[in-house]
Amino acid sequence: MNLPLSELKEFLDEKSVLYNKPKFINSDPISIPHQFSKKQDIEISGFLSATIAWGNRKSIIKNAQKLVDWMDNSPHDYITNGTDSDFAVFQKFVHRTFNGDDCQFFIYALQQLYKKHESLETVFSTDKNDDELDTSNFICSFRKAFFSPSHLPRTEKHVSNPLKGSSSKRLNMMLRWFCRHDTNGVDFGIWNKIKPNQLVCPLDVHTGNVGRKLGLLKRKQNDWKAAIELTNSLKKLDPIDPIKYDFALFGLGVFEKF
């Protein structure tokens, strides 16, 4: 399907409007942070929900809700005031390959970050926040800080590394949640240091397949280079807010089987 650029933009603009609506929140992992209004509660629940956002969507939401419940439905207060004995409950957590050791470390690592930073937004910042940076810089800044406490090497796979070629779909999705600003009520727009045009499109099997069918993506692998290629194509349609088209690509793939 090769449409002229103007027709492709019109088509994807319509689909973005269709799927960027609150009625789709309940069927998406973003429903977990939408339970909160406090910035840090949104960050913690959003980060943990995005971390386990692969596999069956109902299972993702169920397990993410379990994490919130175990944090007494007050993630920031629980994280900042919890003790090692409090955190022991997370040893029982399992979501696919994300196990109790991983989960307990994530809770502890978040506590260490919030001891030093008011918000995770600061942890994703770099020494040179300028318009030339993409989210690989921000993700790598976060990974370095997050994994500074002692941890099992296997746990690192649960915070993807774009420098090793990962598409970093889940982190890019989370950054979309936190950094995009609009009035539709889906994305939160609680972070300002990373601009919407610096985001990279969350790339998975759905957005990748739709992107290729629409001529937005030629690379066959769903890796970081493909995510950048897709994002650059979307910037031709909207250079200011290209990642709004994630709603269109994902919706076309998941709901319309495009």
Residue range 1-41, pLDDT digits in tens: 778 899 999 999 999 999 999 999 999 999 999 999 999 99
Is residue 134 over pLDDT 80? no
State mean pLDDT over 174-180: 97
Is residue 232 over pLDDT 70? yes
Give the orientation angle of helix 169-179 with respect to helix 135-146, to 10 degrees.
100
Place of tokens 């919407």: 196
pLDDT 10s digits, 195-228:
999 999 999 999 999 999 999 999 999 999 999 9
State mean pLDDT over 229-235: 97
Is residue 230 over pLDDT 90? yes
The token pair that represents 186 in the structure block: 């889906």
Q: Which stretch of DSSP H or E encloses residue 112? A: helix 100-116
The Cα angle at residue 154 between residues 107 and 48, in degrees rounded to 5: 30
What mean pLDDT is reported for the chain? 94
Q: What is the DSSP secondary structure assignment for residue 191, as one 8-state letter? A: -
What pLDDT sits at residue 125? 81
Is residue 250 over pLDDT 70? yes
What pLDDT sits at residue 220? 96
Place of tokens 């994902």: 250
Whole-model pTM? 0.95
Q: Which residues, 6 or more positions from 18, have their beta carbon under 8 angstroms from its beta carbon? A: 247, 248, 251
Nearest to 42 by CA among 55, 23, 29: 29
Q: Give the Cα separation of 23 and 199 in Å (integer).
A: 24
Residue type at position 60: I
What pLDDT sits at residue 199? 95
Which conformational region is residue 181 in: left (phi greater than 0), alpha (psi within -120 to 50 degrees), or beta?
Answer: beta
First to last CA, the chain: 11
pLDDT 10s digits, 98-126:
999 999 999 999 999 999 999 999 999 86
What pLDDT sits at residue 132? 60
Q: Is 226 helix (H, G, I), strand (E, B) or coil?
A: helix
State mean pLDDT over 168-177: 97
Among 93-107, 128-142, 225-239, which is the least confidently predicted range?
A: 128-142
Q: Is 95 helix (H, G, I), strand (E, B) or coil?
A: strand
Confidence class for position 165, pLDDT limits 50, 70, 90: very high
